[in-house]
Amino acid sequence: MARKAKATKKAPAKRANGNGEMKPMEAVALLKADHRIVEGLFEEFENTKGAKAKQRIANQICLELIVHAQIEEEIFYPAVKEAVEEEIYTEAHVEHDGAKVLIAEILAGAPDDEFYDANVKVLSEMIKHHVHEEEMRDGMFAQAKRVDDVDMVALGEKLAQRKADLTALYKRNGLPAPTTRTMKSMPSLELGQPVA
Ligand SMILES: [Fe+2]
Ligand SMILES: [Fe+2]
């Protein structure tokens, strides 16, 4: 039996401070809140059986991830680049692009496709790894916080604004085909077909 779907949490762009006033979220806090939302959705997917519900959750995962990757790539990563080790910076982009391949498959597919569940499962594992690399001790986010001359609250506001705009755009027009920044070729073979 499909477990009753949890209400999807929305990432708060602002957080109440002790005085009940709304305070803008700092950049890393906003990105971490996004991570928690996607983790919740993957868990919800795992516990859901009905095809329609599964597709709805999977599409929501794809929307969240495409918007999240886009605001990181357009705004956050460039803003903190100088403070982040080159390896961490380049690997983060490749991990995003790897995830986008699976996202494209999920968006093009349906729950009764042979590889649909596997695509979502493997995507969840890739994202788990990537989130760990961003959040771990001395990972991307820890290094990013050492950047000079970047106001993390202003950066958070910029991320929140872009996130809201992109989410509205993609809800209105549908998701665009994922765009990679690091891949030059993606050859395709039939299952079981030899490479050469
Ligand atoms: Fe992230
Ligand atoms: Fe990322």
Task: Kindly report, residue by residue over 59-87, the tens digit of the pLDDT.
Answer: 999 999 999 999 999 999 999 999 999 99
> What pTM value is reported for the model?
0.89
pLDDT value, residue 4: 46
Q: Comparing 9 with 1, which gets the higher pLDDT?
A: 9
pLDDT value at residue 22: 66
Q: What is the mean pLDDT of residues 152-159?
A: 97
| Residue 132 scores a pLDDT above 90 | yes
Tell me the ligand closest to 32's alpha carbon. 1
Long-range Cβ contact pairs of 47-54 (< 8 A, separation 24 or more): 47/2, 47/3, 48/2, 48/3, 48/5, 49/1, 49/2, 50/2, 51/110, 51/111, 51/112, 53/2, 53/5, 54/111, 54/116
Ligand nearest to the CA of 31: 1
Those residues whose C-beta lies under 8 Å from the C-beta of residue 121, and which sit 6 or more positions away, are: none
Q: How confident is the model at residue 5 (pLDDT cuts 50, 70, 90)?
A: very low
28 vs 18: which has the higher pLDDT: 28
Pairwise CA distance, residues 104 & 99, whole Å: 9
DSSP three-state, residue 16: strand
Given pLDDT bands bounded at 50, 70 and 90, which one contains residue 20? low
| Predicted local confidence at residue 6, as pLDDT | 47
Centre of ligand 1 to C-alpha 66, Å, is: 11
Q: Which two tokens stand for residue 122?
A: 């493997």
Selected residue with higher pLDDT from 62 and 184? 62
- Identify which of 63, 94, 80, 68 has the alpha carbon closest to the alpha carbon of residue 142: 80
How many angstroms separate the CA atoms of 106 and 102, rounded?
6
Ligand 1 center from residue 36 Cα (angstroms): 10
Q: Name the more confident of 146 and 19.
A: 146
Q: Which ligand is nearest to the CA of 95?
A: 2
DSSP string, 55-100: HHHHHHHHHHHHHHHHHIIIIIHHHHGGGS-HHHHHHHHHHHHHHH
Q: Quick one: average pLDDT of 124-134?
A: 98
CA of 22 relative to ligand 2 center, distance in Å: 26
